[in-house]
Amino acid sequence: MTGAEVLDVAREGIWTLLKVSGPLMIVGLAVGVAIALVQALTQVQEITLVFVPKIIVIFLTMLVTMPFMGQVMSAYMMRIMELIANG
């Protein structure tokens, strides 16, 4: 395997990571900002108010995007297996 091929695999791995984790991170950010805004407006500074809704919404987002995440990771793994088989 040449250096260029290694860099291609690494770049593809980083893109796969971003595709899989991106939706969860964006949803977590949006929920965090919304909750922070509600806390600032109501002056309620309860720490569990931040974590519980974030966990629930991220879990639901993961359930919704699970087929997409599985497809992306499967395609990347097939590419890796193909590279291993071809040498």
Question: For residue 29, what pLDDT is reported?
Answer: 95
Question: For residue 34, what pLDDT is reported?
Answer: 93
pTM of the model: 0.80
Domain count of the chain? 1
Cα atoms in the 13 Å half-sphere on the side-chain side of 55: 5
Which amino acid belongs to residue 44? V
Question: For residue 82, what pLDDT is reported?
Answer: 93
Question: For residue 68, what pLDDT is reported?
Answer: 96
- Please report, in tens digits, the pLDDT of each residue of the chain (87 residues total): 788 889 999 999 999 999 999 999 999 999 999 998 988 898 888 777 788 889 999 999 999 999 999 999 999 999 999 999 987
Question: For residue 1, what pLDDT is reported?
Answer: 75
Four-point Cα dihedral 62, 67, 68, 72, nearest 10: 110
Structural domain containing residue 58 = 3-86
